[in-house]
Structure 1
Amino acid sequence: MNLDFISELFIPIVLVACLIVGYCIKHIPRLAKVSNDYIPAILAILGAILACVANTSITLENIVYGALTGLASTGLHQAFKRIIERVGQNNE
């Protein structure tokens, strides 16, 4: 599987950070009150902020690419979930 498009369209470090935060929101019991409807918005905002931090400048381009990357992490959640489940099954 060729994943080169990820580094071309998205900011990899922001993608991974948003995946982790989204996974934590879904699986930490205290955060269970957060509606699934809010998770994409949370990750879009977080992605925009992290992209500006990662690129050390606040520009419209960084905000848009960061928000896009945060939203993409919601779509990649299923793949991430399967990887985590496989690792857990292999360790048993």
Structure 2
Amino acid sequence: MDLGFIQDYYIPVVLVACLIVGYCIKHITLLEKVSNQYIPTILAVLGAVLACVSAGLANTPIGLETVVYGAFTGLASTGLHQAFTKIINKSGGE
């Protein structure tokens, strides 16, 4: 199975960065005031910004496509966290 399409639509560095920031928002006691419903929005905006920064550092043109891919990557980090949480809870509960 070829997973090369992931790099076409998702930006792995942005995915990992958003995953870390989302985890920190969820688990740092200082940030408990941030409601869980805002985490996907925060990560989508952060993903779009980080995608623009990474494109700027790579000297590639920044367009709407870059912003959209970054936002989707930020949202994908939220889904990835939820998938891992469900897998860990399912295997830990047995």
Q: TM-score, normalised by structure 1?
A: 0.79
Aligned to 2:10: 10
Separation in 2 of the partners of 1:34 and 1:45?
15
- 1:75 matched to 2:79? The reply is yes
CA distance in 1, matches of 2:32, 2:5: 33
Shift of residue 40 of structure 1? 0.4
Superposition pairs for residues 5-84 of structure 1, below 5 Å?
A: 5-56=5-56, 57-81=61-85
- 3-state DSSP class of the match of 1:33? coil
SS across alignment from 2:36: coil
**Whose Rg is larger?**
2
**Corresponding residue for 1:90?**
none
- Contact map agreement 1:18 1:46 (CA 8 A) in 2: yes
Aligned length: 84
The worse-fitting range, judged by mean Cα deviation, of 50-59 and 33-42 is: 50-59
Per-residue CA deviation, residues 6-37 of structure 1 (Å, 9 max, x unaligned), is: 32320000000000000000010000110011
C-alpha distance in structure 1 between counterparts of 2:2 and 2:28, whole Å: 32
| Separation of aligned partners in 2, 1:3 and 1:26 | 29
**Unmatched segments (≥5 aa) in structure 1:** 86-92
Distance 1:80 1:2 in 2: 22
- RMSD over equivalenced CA pairs, Å: 2.2
Partner Cα separation in structure 2 for residue 81 and residue 13 of structure 1: 21
Structure 2: runs of 5 or more not aligned = 89-94
